[in-house]
Amino acid sequence: MARVLHKEQSEIHVDYVNAPNQLARGSPSKNHTGKDRRKLYRLVGVSFGLLCILQIALNISLRLTLYIEGLSPSITDHYFKQGWVYFRPSFYYISSIKKSWQDSRDDCLRRGADLVIINSREEQDFTRKFHRISWIGLTLRETKGEWKWVDGTPLTKSYWGSGEPNDYEGKTEDCVEIKFHDEENSWNDIPCGDQNFWICEKTVAL
Ligand code: GN1
Ligand code: CA
């Protein structure tokens, strides 16, 4: 019994003796954690600062580009605040709701613009990047069977998807949507009464 008791006492003693040592071991590790935390805060702060600087630099470079292109800050601010994006030499607006082709066109006209007219490969690639099936300003309506842009010019370079235009299943598909975003040839003809997103284009005179 006495030996057991002695053993227990000895264990208690050892634990007691070890306690300060454990604290002593814990202390540098706590300091270490504190240092790590300070380092982390510093890193977060520096990253945030760099992001702010990057944002300011991008803002200045965009404004400089627009300034060089002859666009006044008041015009650009006006369009940017209303959700337009700039792609030389036009501003573009992509809708967030769907309407028929004519209602979409009317919306663009109310905004002082019109449905997008695609004049180049670059513009074609740009419009695909919105990744929304959307109306463009190309139609057969009231054009005596000839595809025409909303400004009355005839279609010269086209980007029809494979098998399009096809007046699918004998339907009258007289309006055009951007459908196949992943392909250069992205257009599909579709009934003008269908509901789609749309892209307005406003060319700003220099
Ligand atoms: C067909 O299958 P879907 O809905 O993606 C058709 C189009 C028509 C469209 C009308 C290959 O497309 O041409 O405009 O229906 N696609 C094919 O809704 O025939
Ligand atoms: Ca079609």
Does ligand 1 have an atom closer than 6 angstroms to the CB of 173? yes
Q: Closest Cα to atom 14, ligand 1: which residue?
A: 190
Helix/strand/coil (H, E, C) string of 141-191?
Answer: CCCCCCCEECCCCECCCCCECCCCCCCHHHCCCCEEEECCCCCCCCEEEEC
Domain ranges of the chain: 1-68, 72-203
**pLDDT tens for each residue of the chain, 206 residues long:** 334 434 444 443 444 334 444 444 444 555 667 888 899 999 999 999 999 999 999 888 777 777 666 677 777 788 888 889 999 889 999 999 999 999 999 999 999 999 999 999 999 999 999 999 999 999 999 888 999 999 999 999 999 999 999 999 999 999 999 999 999 999 999 999 999 999 999 987 65
Does ligand 1 have an atom closer than 6 angstroms to the CB of 190? yes
Q: Closest Cα to atom 1, ligand 1: which residue?
A: 168
Does ligand 1 have an atom closer than 6 angstroms to the CB of 188? yes
Count CB-CB contacts under 10 A for residue 101. Answer: 26
Nearest atom in ligand 1 to 173's CA: 14
Name, in order, each residue with C-beta under 8 angstroms of 51's C-beta and a sequence gap of 6 or more.
none
Query: For the segment 69-128, what is each residue's pLDDT rounded down to a tens digit?
Result: 667 777 778 888 888 999 988 999 999 999 999 999 999 999 999 999 999 999 999 999
How far apart are the CA of 186 and the centre of ligand 1, in A? 13
User: 143 exposed, middle or buried (CB, 10 Å; 0-12, 13-18, 19+)?
Assistant: middle
pTM above 0.85, yes or no: no
CATH of domain 72-203: 3.10.100.10
Nearest atom in ligand 1 to 189's CA: 14
